[in-house]
Amino acid sequence: MRHKRTTWATVALMGVTLGVAAVPAQAATTCPTGWGSVDKSRAVGTAEPLTQARTGKHACYDRLVVEVPGADKDSLGYSVRYVDRIRQDGSGHVIPVGGGAVLEVRVTAPAYDPETGAATYPGRVGRTLPGVDLTGYRTFRDTRFAGSFEGDTQFGLGVRARLPFRVLRLDDRVVVDVAHSWGAKP
């Protein structure tokens, strides 16, 4: 009799073990590291005007995308760096940006049509970026349009703290990713 109890217990334990093993595990998210927080830039420019700035949330970082239709990645320049405050090009006026740290994002493309001077981006100097809602973001705290002067367009990006970031140039846009943390955990 004792042998039968042991056998049933063994069979039951094996069933539970196999049932747990059959549940698929979720893939672990690995966050990139090594981006750093030093200035990043590329000194080229385009006459193609920018038309949109938008943001997105990802598992490991928050993203700002500046769209420049008609440009190619070889003609898109940028400068992204941490600053104490955003000073508007031309006037030197300070644009207040909320957050524990501020990234100045410059894209070497105008926010206006160079031939007519008509605005191609609906942003207003000193105001949050049109259509951007940062509710629920882990890193981004504020966005500000600082203006466009002599072919460069300037944005203020308020972040939670001085965190690592990277800049990517794609065919018709500049992408700024700011990590949620210095470590590799999402």
Model's pTM, two decimal places?
Answer: 0.82
144-168: average pLDDT = 96
pLDDT at 86 over 50: yes
7-24: average pLDDT = 47
Query: What is the set of domains in the chain, with CATH numbers?
Result: 40-179 (2.60.40.3500)
Separation of alpha carbons 49 and 148, rounded Å:
10
Ranges 5-9, 116-120, 158-162, 169-173: which has the least confidence: 5-9
Choose among 160, 157, 156: nearest CA to 182.
160
Choose among 108, 38, 112, 121: nearest CA to 74.
108
pLDDT at 162 over 60: yes
Mean pLDDT of the chain: 87
Residue 72: the pLDDT is 85
Q: What are phi and psi of 12, to 5 degrees?
A: -65, -45
Residue 4: the pLDDT is 52
What is the distance of C-alpha 112 from the center of its chain? Answer: 24
